[in-house]
Amino acid sequence: MNGIVIIGAGECGTRAAFALREAGYSGSINLVGAEPHLPYERPPLSKPASGAVQMKLICTEDMLKAAGITYIKGLSALKVDTDAGTVSLSDGRVLAYEKLLFATGARPRRLACPGRERALDFRNHADAEAIFANAHAGRSVAVIGGGLIGMELASVLRGKDIAVSVIEAAPKPLGRAVPSRFAEKLHARHVAESVEFHLNHGVAEITDDGVILTNGRAVRADLVVSAIGVAPDIALAQEAGLSTGNGILTDAHLRTSSPNVFAAGDCAAVSQPDGGHMRFETWRNARAQAETAACNMIGAGEAFAILPWFWSDQYDLGLQVVGLPQPSHQSVPRATADGELEFYLDGGRLVAAAGLGVGNGLARDIKLAEMLIAAGVSPDPVALTDPKLNLKALLKSARAA
Ligand SMILES: Cc1cc2nc3c(=O)[nH]c(=O)nc-3n(C[C@H](O)[C@H](O)[C@H](O)COP(=O)(O)OP(=O)(O)OC[C@H]3O[C@@H](n4cnc5c(N)ncnc54)[C@H](O)[C@@H]3O)c2cc1C
């Protein structure tokens, strides 16, 4: 038997390898990772504890050994032949597979302006080391992109007394994934922390002195970081003839257009019950899809279905969002001791919730909201705004009903 090959040793690929063993798979597992480290988590890169870049390992060498996972470190998969069932590696080796998982993740989007090579990316441990090695108190950094990663980086840099400018082409930062109520609060906090925003402006050029905006204005910076989002890493899949779009297209079971090949994590665009494909760029999605793909590679027929969830830490504030809040939803705010929650109703039914508060204080409420969403409740919006309404009791009565 040829066993299972996993391309990409990030959160998703590594979790899939261990999930295969937990599900009882006893064949060979080859985990191929292009980076020169043991598998590590990305979220801590933009949340460095005590100012130092963290390398939070997903597993140790011993754990890989104990699970019988062959980790092929620092090598890339260069070619997949789905007819032959083989993967060619950058050292010339060819691995045969029975089942293959693409967990190739995503790559930073590239700026198109002159001088773009002067900007640092922020995706992996090497990027984080390059940024923080050059970011010292009294210096200045221009962050291009006011999304979650750019804003997290801005908050860390302000904590090191570094002057930060955020350049964002949209009229507001955090517009893509964060509900507007909390995007505005986080924006205001950054302003209060003296982050300088240049909104509604593109980048015309990056020079040795900083960034020239499309309106001609110069933003001085010792260091420029590009955080303009990521694109799914699909080149290898495309060359192998798999169907792709905004990601490697899969069915609900995470199977690609080639029957023995699966895709999961940031690189996968998964078929949705109401049509189209959805791709997520979050830690929990990578883990959950890894587990579904692992089970399905060894014969289960599980459709992938979890509520999207992500978090972000900026200054002392923690944001959590569960479900997919939409502007068309009825939003129901609720004050808590640690911050603020907002619930989102669609046709009266609870479909999403978000919270912003100090530290991890809202985690329990968001967890309860997640369970309420799963229970399919249609709560009274007025009652929901009342902090005295006990969410646990609401869940209990919903389950009893
Ligand atoms: C700085 C930062 C902070 C983040 N913070 C949060 C957060 O607070 N909350 C949250 O929910 N999410 C966060 N995320 C997102 C989260 O980390 C990602 O969604 C998750 O890492 C995706 O995992 P993945 O395994 O699908 O992809 P990746 O982590 O991108 O891993 C893919 C791996 O595959 C390797 N690879 C690609 N092609 C090949 C090939 N041909 N051969 C061999 N190897 C290959 C790549 O080198 C990479 O190591 C953050 C991401 C970053 C970058």
Mean pLDDT over 24-38 rounds to 98
DSSP run (H or E) holding 314: strand 309-314
Q: How far is the CA of 181 from the centre of ligand 1 (A)?
A: 28
Residue 261 in this model has a pLDDT that exceeds 90: yes
With a 6 A CB cut-off, is 122 part of the ligand 1 pocket? yes
Q: Whose CA is nearest to atom 4 of ligand 1?
A: 43
pLDDT confidence band for 49 (50 / 70 / 90): confident
Q: Where are the alpha helices (DSSP H) in 171-278?
A: 180-192, 235-239
What the block records as the tokens of 260 is: 């023995």
Domain locations along the chain: 4-104+233-297, 116-226, 316-400
CA distances to 53, 64, 105, 266, 311 from 58, in Å: 16, 10, 16, 17, 18
Q: How far apart are CA 256 and CA 362, in angstroms?
A: 37
With a 6 A CB cut-off, is 286 part of the ligand 1 pocket? yes
- Is residue 156 classed as helix, strand or coil in its secondary structure? helix
Question: Could you confirm whether domain 4-104+233-297 is CATH 3.40.250.10?
Answer: no
Q: How far apart are CA 32 and CA 30, in angstroms?
A: 6
Same fold, 4-104+233-297 and 116-226: yes
With a 6 A CB cut-off, is 147 part of the ligand 1 pocket? no
Q: Are 207 and 219 in contact (CB under 8 A)?
A: no
With a 6 A CB cut-off, is 30 part of the ligand 1 pocket? no
Mean pLDDT over 244-270 rounds to 98
pLDDT in tens, 169-209: 999 999 888 999 999 999 999 999 999 999 999 999 999 99
Annotate 349-384 with b (16+ C-beta within 10 A) or e (fewer). Answer: ebbbbbbbbeeebbeebbebbbbbbeeebebeeeeb
Architecture of domain 316-400: 2-Layer Sandwich (3.30)
Number of other residues whose CB lies within 10 A of the CB of residue 181: 15
Q: Where are the alpha helices (DSSP H) in 59-199?
A: 61-66, 125-133, 148-159, 180-192
Pick the CATH number of 116-226 from 3.40.50.11030, 3.40.50.2300, 1.10.357.10, 3.50.50.60: 3.50.50.60
DSSP code of residue 52: S
pLDDT confidence band for 1 (50 / 70 / 90): low
Q: How far is the CA of 40 from the centre of ligand 1 (A)?
A: 9
Q: Whose CA is nearest to atom 45 of ligand 1?
A: 8
- Check residue 177 and give its pLDDT: 87
Number of other residues whose CB lies within 10 A of the CB of residue 91: 10
Mean pLDDT over 227-250 rounds to 98
Q: How far is the CA of 30 from the centre of ligand 1 (A)?
A: 19
- Check residue 130 and give its pLDDT: 95
Q: Are 359 and 335 in contact (CB under 8 A)?
A: no
With a 6 A CB cut-off, is 35 part of the ligand 1 pocket? yes
What atom in ligand 1 is closest to the CA of residue 284? 11
Outline where DSSP puts E strands in 202-265.
203-207, 210-213, 218-220, 223-226, 230-232, 244-245, 247-250, 261-263
Instruction: Give the dihedral sign, CA 368/13/266/273.
Output: negative
- Is residue 338 classed as helix, strand or coil in its secondary structure? coil
Mean pLDDT over 71-93 rounds to 98
With a 6 A CB cut-off, is 355 part of the ligand 1 pocket? no
pLDDT in tens, 348-390: 999 999 999 999 989 999 999 999 999 999 999 999 999 989 9
What atom in ligand 1 is closest to the CA of residue 45? 1
Number of other residues whose CB lies within 10 A of the CB of residue 227: 28
Q: Are 89 and 74 in contact (CB under 8 A)?
A: no
pLDDT confidence band for 398 (50 / 70 / 90): confident
